[in-house]
Amino acid sequence: MARHPAWWINKLTTPPLEFASLSTWDGTITELVGRMFDPTCTLDDLAWLRAQWPRKLVVKGIQNVDDARDVVRLGADAVVISNTAAANSIMQSRPLPFSPMSSKRSEHVSLP
């Protein structure tokens, strides 16, 4: 910031950034994340959601090829492989070994 004096002026003269989901929450961020994302979600929940949702359904957070096959079989239109959650949690497995497999299968429409 020393090389950009205007950044200091902006920082000192404007209110800090706020996240709407955090500004009204009285608990910890861990508690908020636990409330926003249900770790008990199962493939049965995905089947129910597919039955309720007539539009495109994208599933994010797949960790291996077998899970990808399962969600496609249950009606997912797309699968997103992301390392974002793993970067934020040392307890989460990382899907990087899955990535080369997905690129080999990218020519296919599904993973049955």
CA quadruple 83, 94, 46, 69: dihedral sign: positive
pTM over 0.75: no
CA distance 85 to 36: 14
pLDDT band of residue 112 (cuts 50, 70, 90) is very low
- CB contact at 8 A, 76 and 57: yes
- pLDDT tens digits, 29-72: 788 877 877 778 889 999 999 999 999 999 988 878 888 889 99
Neighbouring CB atoms inside 10 A of 71's CB total 22
- CB contact at 8 A, 46 and 77: no
